[in-house]
Amino acid sequence: MKTSKLSHTPFKGLKEALKNNKFILSENNMIEIRTDEEIFIDAMADVREIKEFREIPPKTPPKIEPAPSRADDSLEDLKRVVKGEGKIRLSDTGEYIEWVRPNIRKDILQKLHQRNFSIQDYIDLHGMTLSEAEEALSLFFREAIRKRLFCVKVVHGRGLRSPQGPVLKEALKRLLQGQFRKWVIAYSTAKDCDGGLGATYIILKSN
């Protein structure tokens, strides 16, 4: 790359000046040896400060505002809910459940939760004991598989009044991940209008 010549070169010839002005003849015709510092000071006698360089302001980096944290967003969402200006998203709660087979596209979960698929049958487990619910679920899934149903719903409740918590919901998850796992494509918590956290949508294989 070709470099441009500087228009102001105060140090040009300094090396030669140091070499040639090392010895001088004094007033008494005596040869004196001058130091490099003395030669340098004489060589720089005509150098003047360029004031414009002094006035160049330092470059200030642009101010970057920190992005709001997820915690701040959640707090604002909660404030809006308390004021009645919004609603809690079910997917942000600890009760929300979802699962999809590894070889299936993950966007099916959002479509399922938004109820983009027609519910072809459902079962309501309210009022059943754990053993009754397990037996009813087993019969329900066997019949759904026999009929080659694609999308079904299970209403299990949230177990808010149970000392043991959501036992029916946990029983459903055990069946979906155990005995009937090979027939399950995906499942997700239902929409508010269909039971919300107390119900689950399930997509089944047809064969």
pLDDT in tens, 3-28: 555 555 655 555 565 555 555 555 55
Of the chain, the percentage scoring pLDDT greater than 70 comes to 57
Residue 87 counted as domain residue = no
Prediction pTM value: 0.57
pLDDT tens per residue, range 168-193 = 999 999 999 999 999 999 999 999 89
Closest CA to 101 of 194, 202, 171, 172: 202
Q: Are residues 199 and 131 in the same domain?
A: yes
Q: What is the pLDDT of residues 99-126, one digit of tens each?
A: 999 989 989 999 999 999 999 999 999 9
Domain co-membership, 186 together with 104: yes
What's the pLDDT tens digit per position in 35-52? 667 766 776 666 666 665
Residues found in the chain? 207
DSSP assignment, residue 23?
A: E
Q: Are strands 121-124 and 23-25 parallel, antiparallel or unpaired?
A: unpaired
Cβ atoms of residues 48 and 56 within 8 Å: no
Same domain, 101 and 199: yes
Which structure tokens are listed for 21? 């002005």
**Which pLDDT does position 152 carry in this prediction?**
97
Tell me the CATH number at 118.
Answer: 3.30.1370.110
Segments forming the whole domain that contains residue 104: 94-204
